[in-house]
Amino acid sequence: MPHMLALERTPKPTIHEADNGSGSLLHREFCSICGSGILEYGAAAANHFRYVMTGTLEDPGALPPKGEFFCAYREKWMPEVPGIFHKQHLKD
């Protein structure tokens, strides 16, 4: 598989962990070459799931979104994604 060969030569991601402002630790991973975000998760979700940045996927259509967060801050020009959950604020 050609894409797997590229992954084997890719350096390990740069990891950044910091308080997200509410006292919870947020883990983020970035490409160590270009700095693009790869994924993130909060300490409470560490053993359950990851938020993967769509631009990192070879076939983004293979993993459709399951939900939207921070919808209260959505720009007026950005349409709502139908058929998924929508959280206006993180603690809804």
Average of per-residue pLDDT across 48-71: 87
Asked if 52 and 71 touch (Cβ cutoff 8 Å), the reply is: no
What would you measure as the largest C-alpha separation in the chain, in angstroms?
Answer: 43
For CA atoms 28, 17, 44, 70, give the dihedral sign: negative
Q: How confident is the model at residue 15 (pLDDT cuts 50, 70, 90)?
A: very high
| Residue 79, CA atoms < 13 Å, CB-side half-sphere | 3
For CA atoms 56, 61, 65, 68, give the dihedral sign: positive
Residue 3 pLDDT more than 60? no
pTM of the complete model beyond 0.85: no
Residue 1 pLDDT more than 70? no
Q: What are the tens digits of pLDDT across the range 62-84?
A: 888 888 888 999 999 999 999 99
